[in-house]
């Protein structure tokens, strides 16, 4: 019985060293521009991604950005893939990966019936990360959020 418990503890401890800490792989910084919005105004979610050294995000299986339902913001789609966002695919040593150096921008329109006040947009990114140096790949989902403020005024487009 002691051997079984000791073996189980060793396997658990070993798994901490063999598999990467998922939180260290991809750092997400999300913001909304402009920060203060009027009803009917167009804006964009800006997502900056930072990868741990020697980690790449591969295009297949799909890289997907999803937003939680929001009564204040209207997006053209429920989710966005790397091809929707026109993210460049690079190749090195015969392996493809996404070029995530530039910020990702996703457009939206503020709902004409949006409530005035502070709001938080939540979302998640589904991705497949690989380390050619350490020889592993990991399918993962990381969550993010961005805050914004909506005014009670309606945005008037300039002619």
Higher-pLDDT residue of 133 and 47 is 47
Q: Return the pLDDT at 19.
A: 44
Span 25-154 CATH architecture: Sandwich (2.60)
Task: Give CA–CA dist 78/71, Å, rounded.
Answer: 13
Q: Measure the CA–CA gap between 66 and 81, rounded to whole angstroms.
A: 9
pLDDT tens for each residue of 14-62: 444 444 444 579 999 999 999 999 999 999 999 999 999 899 999 988 8
Question: 135 in helix, strand or coil?
Answer: coil
Average pLDDT, the chain: 87
Lowest mean pLDDT among 33-42, 52-61, 71-80, 106-115: 52-61
Report which of residues 111 and 62 the model is more confident about: 111
Contact 65, 106 (CB under 8 A): yes
């Amino acid at each position: 019985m002691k051997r079984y418990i000791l073996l189980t503890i060793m396997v658990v401890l070993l798994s901490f060293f063999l598999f990467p800490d998922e939180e260290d792989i991809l750092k997400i910084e999300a913001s909304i521009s402009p920060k203060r919005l009027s009803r009917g105004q167009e804006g964009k979610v800006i997502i900056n991604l930072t990868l741990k050294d020697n980690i790449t995000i591969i295009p297949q299986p799909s890289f997907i950005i999803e937003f939680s339902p929001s009564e204040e913001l209207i997006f053209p789609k429920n989710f966005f893939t790397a091809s929707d966002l026109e993210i460049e695919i690079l190749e090195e040593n015969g392996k493809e990966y996404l070029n995530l150096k530039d910020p990702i921008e996703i457009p939206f329109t503020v709902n004409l019936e949006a409530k005035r006040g502070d709001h938080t947009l939540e979302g998640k990114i589904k991705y497949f990360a690989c380390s050619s140096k350490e020889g592993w790949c990991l399918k993962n989902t990381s969550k993010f959020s961005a805050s914004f403020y909506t005014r009670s005024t309606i945005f008037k487009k300039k002619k």
